[in-house]
Amino acid sequence: MNSLIAALLPIGVFGSCPFMDIGTPPSLKAEVISDSDFKTALEGLDIEALEQDLRILMTDSQTCWPADDGHYGGFMIRLAWHCAGTFRTSDQKGGCGGAGIRFPPESDWEDNGNLDKARALLVPIKQKYGDALSWGDLISFAGTVAIRDMGGPTNPHCFGRVDDADGNKSDIFGVTDSWQDTDCVVQGNCQEPMGAVKVGLIYVNPEGPLNDPNDLNSGQNPDPEKSAVEIREVFGRMGMNDSETASLIAGGHAFGKCHGAGVMTSGFEGPWTTTPSQWTNQFLTGMLDEEWEQVATPSGSAVQWQTKDRTSILAGTMRLTADLALVNDDAYLALAKHWVCDQQKLDIAFAASWKKLVESGGGWLPVEDRRCEPESKATGQQTDPQKNFHSVCATTTTDDSQEASTATKFCLSFLAVVLTPFSLGVHSWLA
């Protein structure tokens, strides 16, 4: 969704990056190989070498589009999330299979502004690995490696997304200026079968729902409680339960920042934490420890939140209305308290929900033809009790049933994926 993920960068400040026309084909058509040829090529993909190349990329800042704090991690997480975030359960359409984000209408959506630069940065790696590496696999794996490189938790990644030659399969999601041609009745409050609330967004508007649910021009209501209701509804359309939803938001916003002080993508400005290229739970602890107040964004185009205590160590960070939904809803708040008391639980929940996100949808080779990393590639799941201390922890309890259910379902489904001749290993758990 528009800034419910990291690393929104300013438009037009730097020169055009090389390879823009490859990452985002201007002809609106790309050459693709047959599924059988891709299956054969995928067997030879050196996944370990690919990960190392992506890790090098993360800190190899380019003058055409410099990395925030010297790390492209937040940018690549946003690219992977937005590629996968089109998935909806109403018809099982969407997802990063096909890499529709390279083409209109997805490439033109307001929520995907500047992601053409992220794809351009990936082109040399795509060229190096050729047919063995699809764009869908590259984009999704770049997000996974970004999380790992910043110390975050991940589960083994699977490959086998088949690229499309154009964006025709995304036409059902709509063109922003022609949203009336979709199944959406009120732009900004789209209902099922649509996934997002607005044609051109991923998920919800981070500033809050419409003041009048029947009027696009009524403006956004920066009410965290009402935002929580909308978040639950919309993430549910993408097949996410409360634990998966909250962990994706909390984990995704451990990284990166919004850029909107001048020429902007989103209008929002600032990092979520004091360490935007390092995995921590400060995103959650900050909302539990601080009082937050509404302020106008530097661009004057929207509302965001800052700490009331302007001497706080978090005074230089910000929150969005949709962020504060996590501490203004009973179910989300219980999860937030649970995770700051036991970060291992957050690690496990985020790793599982991230894997579910990037593997949702169609556009894959058959299960038996895919390749997956071995169990040893799982990262995170730290248990340092000193990191888990928080003032709420003495009295906090929560029901683990949703997290356990998610872990169980993924374990069973993932075993079906990895028990193949081309698998790199067998996974006995996924949580």
Q: Tokens 């706080």 label which residue?
A: 312
Contact call for residues 35 and 105 (beta carbons, < 8 A): no
Does residue 302 form part of some domain? yes
Q: Report how far residue 339's alpha carbon sits from residue 299's, in angstroms, rounded to the nearest whole number.
A: 34
Strand partners, 257: 271
Taking 60 as the threshold, does the pLDDT of residue 3 lie above it?
Answer: no
Does residue 203 form part of some domain? yes
Contact call for residues 154 and 147 (beta carbons, < 8 A): yes
pLDDT band of 23, cuts 50, 70, 90: very high
Each residue's pLDDT tens digit, 370-419: 999 999 999 876 545 455 556 677 554 445 545 544 443 433 333 333 33
pLDDT of residue 393: 75
Contact call for residues 290 and 314 (beta carbons, < 8 A): yes
Each residue's pLDDT tens digit, 68-120: 999 999 999 999 999 999 999 999 999 999 999 999 999 999 999 999 999 99
CA distances from 413 to 92, 369, 371, 417, 427 (A): 17, 15, 14, 7, 11
Tokens of 358: 């990037």
Taking 70 as the threshold, does the pLDDT of residue 164 lie above it?
Answer: yes
Burial class (CB in 10 A: 0-12, 13-18, 19+), 84: buried
Does residue 295 form part of some domain? yes
Catalytic residue among 71, 82, 157, 338: 82
Each residue's pLDDT tens digit, 173-190: 999 999 999 999 999 999
Contacts of 408 (CB under 8 A, 6+ apart): none
Does residue 117 form part of some domain? yes
pLDDT of residue 389: 55
pLDDT band of 262, cuts 50, 70, 90: very low
Average pLDDT over residues 135-164: 98
Taking 80 as the threshold, does the pLDDT of residue 425 lie above it?
Answer: no
Cα angle 121, 126, 127; round to 5: 105
pLDDT of residue 265: 59
Does residue 410 form part of some domain? no
* Higher-scoring residue by pLDDT: 298, 320: 320
pLDDT of residue 411: 38
> How many domains, in total, are found in the chain?
1
Each residue's pLDDT tens digit, 230-254: 999 999 999 999 999 999 999 999 9
pLDDT band of 426, cuts 50, 70, 90: very low
Q: Report how far residue 129's alpha carbon sits from residue 41's, in angstroms, rounded to the nearest whole number.
A: 10
158-159/371-372 β-pairing? antiparallel
Q: Report how far residue 67's alpha carbon sits from residue 121's, in angstroms, rounded to the nearest whole number.
A: 11
Is 338 assigned a catalytic role?
Answer: no
Structural domain harbouring 248: 20-377
Taking 70 as the threshold, does the pLDDT of residue 139 lie above it?
Answer: yes
Query: What residue type is assigned to position 394 of the chain?
Result: A
pLDDT band of 287, cuts 50, 70, 90: very high
- Backbone phi, psi, residue 170, to 5°: -90, 0
pLDDT of residue 36: 98
Give percent of the chain above pLDDT 90: 78
Which CATH number characterizes residue 85's domain? 1.10.520.10
